[in-house]
Amino acid sequence: AYLPEPLAPIGYRFFRNLLRFPDIAIFIDIEPEVALRRIQKRDHRREMFEDLEKLRSVREVAKSLLADEWVVIDNSIDGEVPFERLEEVLRARGVI
């Protein structure tokens, strides 16, 4: 979920503490520049947070809140590599 900049850290910490931590937590990361290029290829009106500065800010807030146990998968790579990495992580943890 997107929260305005002043509320983002507070909101994310609130929900992280409120909700039970899952058996596995995965953060699908992407470089903001790559995300913006993919957004621009879409055929629809852009959302309010779909500009480079906001994408960078949201990514930094999200990364600052990751716990050590989170698995980070780089989605900046085109093709099947991110999916294959996700599948590998899920198999290693016995999820699939």
pTM greater than 0.85 (yes/no)? no
Q: Is the pLDDT of residue 7 over 80?
A: no
pLDDT at 2: 64
Taking the C-alpha atoms of residue 17 and residue 90, their distance in angstroms, rounded to an integer, is 24
What does the pLDDT look like over 80-93, one tens digit per residue?
Answer: 889 999 999 999 99
Taking the C-alpha atoms of residue 26 and residue 69, their distance in angstroms, rounded to an integer, is 9
Of the spans 32-36, 37-41, 92-96, which averages the highest pLDDT?
32-36
Which two tokens mark 41? 């290829």
